[in-house]
């Protein structure tokens, strides 16, 4: 094998972190070779072998205390072993193989000068160390004490796939090894067909020093070359010689945006211990003051957690708010400290107990958008103490939400503490089926809004059986009791959500029967299954309007919940009266193909217009028709349609379409959603909207690809007067060019935002990202 491209000298002074790249340098320090070599030579049958007992006492057998231990012996074999009496040189030639434990050395010729103690190995040298790394070379010089040594034209093939080549190398008396004119790459040098290929990136250095005691490798004059072009100097690059992570600078990132101008970020990584690390990043902007961020991670004997933080001092152009925290106008603010903090973790406490927690907080509404950290408009902080086993579940939880959307009222968001849920499941011998009991409690507190507390207890029995005719029958009986308390109810603007102030109670009794009857048969070379389903549910009239509605507002009638015992989300709203739900499910399978479709509707004994708007599809006796259809062809095509049809006009009230076409390298993804339910504006969670999402990637030239994505707001003023859209408003788009080959990820991205939110202004952003295998990554 030929070495990598010869590096050129360059001097720098910075330090980057990298992964191991040269364990095989230990070849120059392999011990225990010579005594075994001499022992093997003495036993080797050769016509011109030296005398068994030399007359010179200095050539007598070595003292017993200098004999190597059995584990230090080096076994070797060769086609021929010869001895020159005049020069006192032993020569092993022809397929010379030396082995010591997991190490091995192969060469065409190995000579040992007994007078000088010099050892020379020449010709197609191949050395394998105990870690599986392989070194190739043409010539190695060593002494019998291995106090000094040299090698030329070496190539190191690492077990992890990287390669290091050097023009020459030597080892000093202290055991330190120095390589000259070095090149390293983590890339393969052959393609999938076995043909030679130039590595996509390589590190070149004038000199590399390896300290076996500290197990560190340091580069001098290092430079990064990408596609053969010098791209980035890496002054002071060093890393451990084994697999340990080490402290140092990571590869910097570059970007350009309308909000902040030119941006460069560099991260210093601290390896604090084997189970914890810290990354500190400094970011410079041309249009604003610098920002510093930190990322801390720790693994404990019980679990793991991490903390992220961002801090800067900049001018805030944000939305002014009214007394209720709502957006009313925008203006230029003063310079102020701004930042963002997030943390999360999970801990296994033993005996089926676990604790999960997360927290997010930002200083203002637009910080995340301006610095391109997140587009979330609601930041949720939670904790959850859980106990889970085969038949029971317990949760003690709490959560809070920071609302930062332009139309959100921050001080109307609740603090949920505590949220308690306990469930226990029992077998029912004799009767059959399963009995589940549940106790649930929740307290919601607002700084400027309605406060609500609730407690409930539920017992539910389910029996599932298959009749002799093949029908799947499920019987259900449920009893539940609720107690609610609320105050400041009038601060909730929608009266349907308010409930009555003070203490309220509600009792619920439900019985249900669900029957499925699957029919299977052959069809078009495959198998189809047609399953009609009918469900009967009976619940006495309930005092729904007396109960505050906190968790049942986001109503979506769809195939996933139309057969549910309660089609409302959460606990606060419960469907009552007599109800029959009917539908059919169809599925077709054949090699490479899969198709499915579901259609369902329900009828109830009276209307529910007092608690839900008509557009939801649940308000009148006959519900809207809901359906779902899906077609798949291998892993190339997947089409999914979900819809809600008006029961009378068959107008599409909800239309969701998703399509994925292509392979994992070349594909198109399309997502479309249209809500046309004409629900009054007082139901802020149920407003009409239309949106189109498109993303695509096209691969070419084996490793290259073009990619892009876009989001379009198709909502018109007729759909939603408060939305402000004109029927076609771009939200953002992204286009880019990427290269990836398994050891190099390189991408250039152009993104344009079309909406200004405070100081997160509309405009173009450009980013260049670079990731190297084994080098400069966390």
Evaluate whether the domain defined by 24-56+63-243 bears CATH number 2.60.450.10.
Answer: yes
**DSSP, res 196:** B
Domains in the chain: boundaries? 24-56+63-243, 450-635
How far apart are the C-alpha atoms of 370 and 259, rounded to whole Å? Answer: 6
Highest mean pLDDT among 48-57, 249-258, 474-483, 542-551 belongs to 474-483
Q: How confident is the model at residue 694 (pLDDT cuts 50, 70, 90)?
A: very high
Q: Which of 293, 236, 226, 221 is nearest to 18 (CA)?
A: 236
pLDDT recorded at residue 155 = 85
pLDDT at 765 over 70: yes
Burial grade of 417 (CB within 10 A; 0-12, 13-18, 19 or more): middle
Q: 432 or 31: whose pLDDT is higher?
A: 432
Highest mean pLDDT among 131-145, 377-391, 708-722 belongs to 377-391
pLDDT recorded at residue 127 = 81
pLDDT at 518 over 90: yes
pLDDT at 568 over 90: yes
Asked if omega into 418 is within 30° of 0 (cis), the reply is yes
Rounded to 5°, angle at Cα 273 from 267 and 277: 30
As a whole number, the mean pLDDT across the chain is: 85
Q: Are 288 and 309 in contact (CB under 8 A)?
A: no
User: What is the average per-residue pLDDT within 164-180?
Assistant: 81
pLDDT at 466 over 60: yes
How far apart are the C-alpha atoms of 626 and 615, rounded to whole Å? Answer: 13
Q: How confident is the model at residue 743 (pLDDT cuts 50, 70, 90)?
A: confident
Q: How confident is the model at residue 773 (pLDDT cuts 50, 70, 90)?
A: confident
Q: What is the per-residue pLDDT across 304-353, written as a single tens digit (0 to 9) for each? A: 999 999 999 988 765 444 434 344 334 456 789 999 999 999 999 999 99
Q: Which of 263, 266, 311, 308 is nearest to 291 (CA)?
A: 311
3-state secondary structure 701-748: CCCEEEEEEEEEECCCCCCCCCCCCCCCEEEEEEEEEEEECCCEEEEE
pLDDT more than 90, % of the chain = 56
Cα dihedral angle (485, 487, 491, 497), rounded to 10 degrees? 10
pLDDT recorded at residue 323 = 38
Q: 39 or 101: whose pLDDT is higher?
A: 101
pLDDT at 661 over 70: yes
- At 686, give phi and psi (nearest 5°): -125, 30
pLDDT recorded at residue 775 = 76
User: What is the average per-residue pLDDT within 175-201?
Assistant: 82
How far apart are the C-alpha atoms of 599 and 530, rounded to whole Å? Answer: 12
User: What is the average per-residue pLDDT within 101-114?
Assistant: 85
pLDDT recorded at residue 672 = 97
Q: Are 109 and 93 in contact (CB under 8 A)?
A: yes
User: What is the average per-residue pLDDT within 173-185?
Assistant: 83
**DSSP, res 250:** P
pLDDT recorded at residue 317 = 66
pLDDT at 139 over 50: yes
pLDDT recorded at residue 742 = 82
User: What is the average per-residue pLDDT within 199-219?
Assistant: 85
pLDDT recorded at residue 331 = 42
Determine the 3-state secondary structure of 41 from DSSP.
helix
Q: What is the per-residue pLDDT across 226-275, written as a single tens digit (0 to 9) for each? A: 988 988 888 888 877 665 777 888 888 899 999 899 999 999 999 999 99
Q: 153 or 662: whose pLDDT is higher?
A: 662
pLDDT recorded at residue 43 = 40
Of 57-71, 346-360, 468-482, 558-572, the least confident: 57-71
pLDDT recorded at residue 161 = 65
pLDDT recorded at residue 496 = 92
How far apart are the C-alpha atoms of 552 and 79, rounded to whole Å? Answer: 85
How far apart are the C-alpha atoms of 385 and 419, rounded to whole Å? Answer: 10
Q: How confident is the model at residue 777 (pLDDT cuts 50, 70, 90)?
A: low
Of 38-42, 206-210, 675-679, 766-770, the least confident: 38-42
């Amino acid at each position: 094998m030929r070495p990598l491209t010869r590096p050129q000298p360059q001097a720098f002074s910075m330090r980057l972190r990298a992964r191991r790249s040269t364990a095989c340098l230990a070849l120059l320090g392999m011990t225990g070779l010579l005594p075994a070599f001499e022992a093997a030579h003495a036993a080797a049958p050769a016509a011109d072998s030296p005398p068994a007992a030399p007359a010179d006492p200095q050539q007598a057998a070595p003292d017993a205390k200098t004999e190597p231990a059995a584990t230090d012996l080096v076994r070797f074999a060769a086609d021929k072993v010869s001895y020159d009496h005049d020069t006192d040189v032993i020569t092993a030639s022809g397929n010379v193989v030396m082995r010591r434990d997991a190490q091995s050395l192969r060469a065409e010729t190995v000579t040992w000068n007994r007078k000088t103690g010099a050892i020379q190995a020449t010709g197609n040298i191949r050395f394998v160390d105990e870690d599986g790394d392989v070194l190739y070379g043409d010539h190695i010089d060593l002494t019998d004490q291995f106090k000094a040594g040299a090698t030329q034209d070496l190539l190191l093939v690492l077990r992890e796939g990287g390669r290091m080549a050097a023009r020459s190398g030597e080892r000093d008396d202290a055991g330190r090894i120095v390589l000259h004119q070095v090149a390293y790459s983590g890339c393969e040098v052959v393609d999938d067909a076995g043909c030679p290929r130039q590595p996509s990136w390589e590190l070149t250095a004038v000199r590399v020093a390896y300290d076996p005691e500290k197990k560190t490798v340091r580069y001098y004059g290092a430079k990064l070359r990408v596609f053969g072009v010098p791209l980035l100097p890496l002054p002071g690059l060093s890393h451990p010689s084994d697999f340990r992570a080490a402290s140092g600078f990571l590869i910097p990132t570059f970007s350009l945006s309308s909000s902040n101008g030119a941006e460069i970020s560099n991260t210093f990584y601290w390896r604090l211990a084997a189970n914890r690390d810290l990354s500190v990043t400094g970011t410079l902007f041309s249009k604003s003051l610098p920002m510093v961020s930190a990322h801390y991670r720790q693994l404990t004997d019980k679990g793991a957690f991490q903390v992220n933080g961002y801090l800067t001092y900049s001018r805030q152009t944000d939305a002014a708010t009214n007394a209720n925290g709502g957006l009313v106008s925008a203006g230029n603010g003063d310079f102020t400290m701004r930042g963002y903090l997030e943390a999360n973790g999970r801990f296994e406490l033993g005996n089926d107990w676990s604790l999960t927690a997360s927290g997010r907080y930002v200083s203002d509404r637009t910080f995340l958008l301006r610095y391109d950290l997140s587009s979330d408009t609601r930041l949720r902080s939670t904790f959850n103490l859980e106990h889970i086993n085969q038949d029971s579940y317990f949760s003690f939880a709490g959560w809070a939400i920071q609302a930062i959307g332009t139309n959100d009222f921050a001080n109307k968001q609740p603090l949920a503490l505590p949220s308690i849920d306990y469930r226990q499941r029992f077998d029912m011998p004799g009767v059959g089926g399963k009995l589940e009991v549940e106790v649930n409690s929740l307290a919601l507190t607002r700084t400027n809004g309605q406060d609500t507390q609730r407690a409930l207890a539920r017992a539910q029995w389910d029996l599932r059986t298959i009749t002799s005719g093949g029908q799947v029958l499920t019987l259900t009986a449920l009893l539940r009791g609720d107690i609610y308390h609320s105050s400041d109810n009038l601060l909730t603007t929608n009266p349907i959500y308010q409930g009555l102030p003070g203490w309220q109670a509600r009792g619920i009794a439900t019985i249900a029967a669900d029957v499925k009857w699957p029919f299977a048969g052959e069809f078009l070379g495959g198998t189809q299954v047609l399953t009609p389903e009918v469900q009967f549910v009976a619940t006495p009239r309930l005092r729904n309007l007396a109960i505050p509605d906190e968790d049942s507002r986001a109503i979506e009638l769809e195939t996933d919940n139309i057969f549910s015992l309660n089609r409302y989300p959460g606990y606060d709203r419960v469907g009552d009266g007599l109800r029959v739900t009917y539908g059919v499910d169809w599925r077709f399978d054949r090699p490479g193909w899969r198709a499915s479709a579901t259609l369902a509707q329900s009828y109830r004994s009276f209307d529910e217009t007092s608690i839900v708007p008509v557009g939801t599809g649940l308000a009148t006796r006959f519900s809207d028709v809901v359906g779902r259809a899906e077609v798949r062809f291998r892993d190339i095509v997947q089409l999914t349609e979900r819809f809600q049809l008006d029961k009378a006009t068959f107008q599409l009230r909800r239309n969701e379409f998703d399509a994925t076409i292509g392979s994992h390298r070349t594909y198109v993804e399309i997502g479309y959603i249209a809500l046309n339910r004409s629900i009054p504006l007082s139901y802020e969670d149920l407003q009409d909207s239309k949106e189109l999402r498109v993303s695509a990637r096209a691969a070419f030239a084996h490793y290259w690809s073009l990619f892009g994505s876009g989001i379009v707001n198709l909502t018109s003023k007729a759909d939603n007067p408060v939305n402000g859209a004109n029927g076609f408003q771009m939200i953002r788009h992204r286009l880019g060019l990427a290269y990836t080959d398994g050891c190099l990820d390189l991408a250039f991205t152009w993104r344009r935002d079309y909406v200004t939110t405070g100081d997160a202004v509309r405009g173009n952003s450009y980013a260049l990202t670079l990731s190297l295998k084994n080098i400069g990554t966390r």
